[in-house]
Amino acid sequence: MSFETDLKRLEEITELLKDESTGLEKAIELYEEASKLTKSLNKTLSSLERRIEKVTSEDEFELEKEEMKEDEEDI
């Protein structure tokens, strides 16, 4: 499943768990599903965060190189 699909399902589960007509057995099943979805979503978010940090650090490195080059040209 995609991140968006998993997130939407987690939201649906949340609403079902709030519903007083959801029986105990069903609530436990939904809770287990929600737990698995949460772990998967957190793993995806962590991976995306690492990718963003990598891109950001590469951008910062390029900016530093450009600044050093400009400083050398001024000399």
Read off the DSSP letter of residue 20: T
Q: Cite the beta strand spans of 1-75 per DSSP E.
A: none
pLDDT tens for 46-68 read 999 999 888 888 767 776 767 67
pLDDT tens for 2-41 read 999 999 999 999 999 999 999 999 999 999 999 999 999 9
Phi, psi of 20, deg, nearest 5: -65, -15
For residue 48, the number of C-alpha atoms closer than 13 Å in the C-beta half-sphere is 7
